Amino acid sequence: MNHFTFYSPTLFAFGDGEEQHTGALVKRFGGTKVLLVYGSGSVKRNGAYAAVTGSLQKAGIPFAELSGIQANPRSGKVYEGIELVRREGCDFLLALGGGSVIDTAKAIGFGAGYHGDFWDFFTGEAAIETTLPVGVVLTIAAAGSEGSDSCVITQEEGNLKWGCPKTDLIRPKFAVLNPRFTCSLPAYQIACGAVDMLAHICERYFTNTPDVGLTDRLCEALLKTILDAAPKAVALPEDTASHADLMWAGMLAHNNLCGTGRVQDWASHQIEHELSAFYDCAHGAGLAVVLPAWMDYVCGHDPMRFARFAVNVFGCEMNFARPETTAREGIARLRDFFRALGMPTTLSEVGGNPADIPAMVAHRSEKPGGFPFGNFVPVTPADMEAILRLTAG
Amino acid sequence: MNHFTFYSPTLFAFGDGEEQHTGALVKRFGGTKVLLVYGSGSVKRNGAYAAVTGSLQKAGIPFAELSGIQANPRSGKVYEGIELVRREGCDFLLALGGGSVIDTAKAIGFGAGYHGDFWDFFTGEAAIETTLPVGVVLTIAAAGSEGSDSCVITQEEGNLKWGCPKTDLIRPKFAVLNPRFTCSLPAYQIACGAVDMLAHICERYFTNTPDVGLTDRLCEALLKTILDAAPKAVALPEDTASHADLMWAGMLAHNNLCGTGRVQDWASHQIEHELSAFYDCAHGAGLAVVLPAWMDYVCGHDPMRFARFAVNVFGCEMNFARPETTAREGIARLRDFFRALGMPTTLSEVGGNPADIPAMVAHRSEKPGGFPFGNFVPVTPADMEAILRLTAG
């Protein structure tokens, strides 16, 4: 186990109806005027918007609104939000939605107090030292941004989908988690969320750090929970127990509890960012394509770790004579699981074209840090191209 | 899964040498004058005291000292600490040690700003609304107080070993976790710590709340880690990996991550408090006596849960025809595990006498709330007597 700092100072209020305490929570964490950030009409249809704005009014907290945030959130809405915060004098960001809405709120939070372009924090020209506080009312279980230290935005100029450097400063002050809001989501979106969570754990699980049995087991506990809950949640809108499992698992998959003391990988996320930048596919859908391909490509680096994954997560029988057989079986089971959830597993299924692969690799190389990326196996341009070729089906 | 609030805003700095940042951490969390609380000379022998005081000096933070805290911490040292804080003008408590030292610091923290007797917070005559901040440099992996919302003190007048009502207000601001400090502890103390952690998880694991698969699996992940690490840590002072596992597991066993969304039991702890109040035995030793006896007594209430414990934690083979056979095997394996660690499992081994059992039951009844206690199976005076009789060996 390596040295680590773990600081997850977010207050989580979990359960049906907890959104009624939103106003009190904003007050508790010092907010006096809120910018309410949300996406489309779904939060109006499922009652979340009415409950949250009612709670703010009851607490006597005025608010401005920024709506229309879409999946793969874009820089335009961040600039718009920064303007709004300054004009309206907001001192608290309240995200009502999923990862895209939360990440937009986070970026507005650290961009609003900065004299230059908020994108400077993504390019490394500036470092985040202060931010407006962010609160969350979660309506989509997926990204884990409600408890995380990360934020991913697509800069429209250049179509760059990048994460800002991770910092505990941008962890939300509170997150209200009502699983009922996720029950009415389309099956495809629930499935995308489950893939995103699984990927967040896998990015931490596949490591070269020795002596990490505790976090290995925590990762496996979460993975098994998601494998168990996701098919039920997708098929049964009324099964609140599985929706609740997914919602809490999504947070725990990405607040870095599972990553403490271990070097993490994150190559699959880096590759997926190019997929969604090129084809604007859902992040979870892109990950369902990339993650098994990445696994196939790097399995030989540590077959025993992949065999552990197969046995402890999927319940495969260990082939002690040929561990790599078991390892490959685990990867196949993951791909089958994604397919059963209705997820794509090939490039063409997300609207991709193998002819674009060199352009995606070239686009990636423009990012600071460029190549190689990933820590389990460092990925070079040739590796990235090979992994993407494996997705061509 | 039930409604819950989870708020664990403690910063954890984990690894060898992290104690050198203690002064900077005190400053970060607003401390300008520290009361340093510790036990006996062990922190001077293992270098922790020198490193921590050196770090405070380097950060320019003056400090007063309160030493001599013992296991099963007593009210006298809390009164002494409150006096010291007031006289010296300290605004930050720094606990250097294990659970006893941390709980003493917590009690000083909420007692110092209160005009009356700090014990009022334990009897329910007053409610904790404010406290001085507490920081921790952990040298014993056991109680999990470094991340918990609880505090247990023995009031010398009446020999009452009680916990104060749980509140997030008393969670430490930071905790430095250097597993090297635990390597030099006596084997008996390491074993006591492991039992305490196991018990903290079992108190949460045995529940009647349905649909708690995620936290069940998290509990099992921690239990398996402790079963794996404790024998190595006890036998091999130099095996830093197992000491590191135990240290991080001890925190996670009691910051309530494993208890989110489920009704918890805590009967074994209540019974043990009488054992250590009567015989001043180590808390972990008392738990090793009480916990398997409690399990034997309540197993019939839900044999399938105990069978799950046996299969998923101890790797027992499930007897599908007679699940209670498997359930009983798990309890026997736990008792064997405690014995192999050198722990007592009978009343006489902790200096107890069956003749005292009625007096222990009577003493318990003086506590506010009295009987019944425990939620998996409510424990009446007759039940408590029967459980203690099972420990008579």
Class of the CATH-defined domain A188-238+246-253+261-390: mainly alpha
Domain limits, chain B: 11-182, 187-390
d(CA B61, CA A314): 53
- Cβ of B220 under 8 Å from any chain A Cβ? yes
Taking only the tens place, the pLDDT of each residue in B280-293 is 999 999 999 999 99
- What share of chain B has pLDDT > 90, as a percent? 97
CA atoms of B92 and B31, how far apart (whole Å): 5
Sign for the CA dihedral angle at A332, A334, A340, A342 comes to: negative
In chain A, which among 235-274 make CB contacts under 8 A with chain B? Answer: 241, 244-245, 248-249, 252, 257, 260-261
What is the biggest distance separating any 2 CA atoms in chain B, rounded to whole angstroms? 68
> How far, in Å, CA of A382 to CA of A388, rounded?
10
User: What is the arithmetic mean of pLDDT over A132-143?
Assistant: 97
Which tens digits make up the pLDDT trace of A105-123? Answer: 999 999 999 999 999 999 9
- Domain B187-390 adopts which CATH fold? Dehydroquinate synthase-like, alpha domain (1.20.1090)
How does pLDDT run across B112-149, given as a tens digit for each residue? Answer: 999 999 999 999 999 999 999 999 999 999 999 999 99
- Chain-wide mean pLDDT for chain B? 97
* ipTM of model: 0.97
Q: What's the topology of domain A11-182?
A: Rossmann fold (3.40.50)
DSSP output for A201-221? HHHHHS---SS-HHHHHHHHH
Chain A positions touching B241 (Cβ under 8 A) are: 1, 210-211
Q: Is the pLDDT of residue B393 over 80?
A: no
Contacts of B220 in chain A (CB under 8 A): 217, 221
Dihedrals φ, ψ of A289, to 5°? -80, -45
Measure in Å the smallest separation between the Cα of B366 and chain A Cα atoms.
Answer: 35
User: Tokens 């969604």 appear where?
Assistant: A276
pLDDT for A367 beyond 90: no
Which chain B residue has the Cα nearest residue A15? B3
Residue-wise pLDDT for B354-382, tens only, equals 999 999 999 999 888 899 999 999 999 99
Q: Which residues of B touch A13 (CB under 8 A)?
A: 5
Closest in B1, B225, B244 to A217, CB measured = B225
The answer to which of A244-253, B262-271, B365-374 has the lowest mean pLDDT is B365-374
Q: Which candidate, A280, A266, A40, places its Cα nearest to that of A163?
A: A266
A 324-383 near B (Cβ less than 8 A): none
Give pLDDT, residue B213. Answer: 96
pLDDT in tens, A277-318: 999 999 999 999 999 999 999 999 999 999 999 999 999 999
The reply to whether domains B11-182 and B187-390 share a CATH topology is: no
Residues 16-35 of A with CB under 8 A from B: 16, 18
Tell me: pLDDT of A2 over 90.
Answer: yes
**What is the b/e burial string over A48-76, where b = at least 16 CB atoms within 10 angstroms of the residue's CB?**
bbebbbebbeebebebbbbbebebbbbbe
Residue type, A148: S
CB contact under 8 A, B217 and A222: yes
Query: Closest partner residue to A220 among B211, B221, B229, by Cβ?
Result: B221
CA torsion angle A325 A302 A1 A151 (round to 10): -100
Cα–Cα distance between A37 and B14 in angstroms, integer?
Answer: 36
Which residue has better confidence, B366 or A252? A252
Span B207-228, mean pLDDT?
A: 98
Min Cα–Cα distance to chain B from A353, Å = 39
Give residue B132's pLDDT.
98
Peptide bond into A237 cis (omega under 30): no
Would an 8 Å CB–CB cutoff place B227 in contact with chain A? no
Q: Do A245 and B7 touch (CB under 8 A)?
A: no
Q: Is residue B322 within 8 Å of residue B304, measured between CB atoms?
A: no
Residue A368: the pLDDT is 82
B135–chain A nearest CA distance, Å: 14
- Closest Cβ opposite residue B218 in set A7, A218, A260: A218
**Which one of A214, A239, A258 makes the best mutation probe of the B interface by having the most chain B beta carbons within 10 Å?**
A214
